[in-house]
Copies of this chain bind each other. A is one copy, B any other.
Amino acid sequence: VGEFSLIDKYFAARGRARPDVVLGIGDDAALLRCPPGQLLVVSIDTLVSGVHFPANTAAADVGYKALAVNLSDLAAMGAEPAWATLALTLPGEDEAWIAAFCDGFFELAESTGVALIGGDTTRGPLTVTIQVHGWVPPQQALLRSGARPGDLVYVSGTIGDAGLGLAHAQGRCNLDPGVASDCVRRLARPQPRLELGHALRGVASAAIDVSDGLSADLGHILRRSGVGALLELDSLPWSAAFRANAACAEGLVVQQVDGVPAAAAFSLCAGDDYELCVAVNPRNQDLLQDIAQRTGCPLTCIGRIEAQAGLRVRLPGGEVVPFLPRGYVHF
């Protein structure tokens, strides 16, 4: 089958219709109606086989994750998602692979109300680029640049699970079989925190999603905001699966950081969790607990924004030391 019958069969016929899509797949470009008074929010991300996911990743997981990591960027802006475009480069015409990819992609697209409005399929090494489009009212977007000294630092859910899942999938550690699939699923099917991001409009002073690792991503907030932070290592939110495999995490840390427990260092540097890390003025603490309850998404206070630049951590013994993201290579 040629490019056009592939597109018709697997892409154009699927996914939800939205009344704001005037013209979708099938012409030189898509035509879209914009809601008045909102800002358009766009983000584009590429996943390369063998770089951003192991080459043997199931096609459905590739489709799901490629959309999820992009929607996670919209979540981190507090935006409501609307549309996606998909540029898919494939080494061959493996219809079963494409069908499975679409199953994963559209599962998430449908549950988040996202319409696929256009794309391009090309021949070459397996690469998936997705651009997502969403909406946020002016002045309500969550930026990286709004953190202020005195703000509290929160992270949603738990961190480190996807990092363990990746190491397990790569054969670099052996997780307890009872929890391995939880971690691998966390890696394969990240859940973009869209509802949480939306709820944090007007509440968080800064936000980012945790894709490269909590310390690296918080570092972007610190640089853009011109501030620093102190994190409490005792407060890092770990899942039961992570706690049960802390020894695995310790074994994966390439470079020891003086005094920092290895499992804590791992969970600060491991990527792919797609949680939100936010800075919040202390006066909004109560609001935050309401939001956690309403969205069913735990929020843990892990530290505080400080005027002094750089990232520091308080060791279990009470000592405060600088912490630079290090010793962990994504894939």
- Chain A positions within 8 Å of B, measured between CB atoms, are 22-23, 26-34, 36, 38-52, 73-74, 76-77, 79, 85-87, 89, 117-120, 122-125, 127, 129, 131, 133-134, 136, 138, 141, 143-145, 207-209, 224
- Collect the chain B residues with CB atoms within 8 Å of residue A127's CB: 46, 89, 124-125, 127
Residue of B nearest to A48 (CB): B124
Q: Separation in Å of the A116 CB from the closest CB of chain B?
A: 11
B28 touches A43 (CB 8 A): yes
Having A28-B73, A33-B39, A46-B129, one finds 16 other A-B pairs with CB under 8 Å, namely A23-B141, A28-B144, A29-B42, A29-B74, A29-B76, A30-B42, A31-B41, A34-B40, A42-B118, A44-B86, A44-B131, A46-B89, A46-B120, A51-B122, A87-B87, A89-B127
Q: Separation in Å of the A67 CB from the closest CB of chain B?
A: 14
- Collect the chain B residues with CB atoms within 8 Å of residue A85's CB: 42, 44, 131
Which residue of the partner chain, among B26, B39, B49, B50, contacts A31 with CB atoms under 8 Å? B39
A124 touches B31 (CB 8 A): no
Residue of B nearest to A77 (CB): B29
Residue of B nearest to A206 (CB): B27
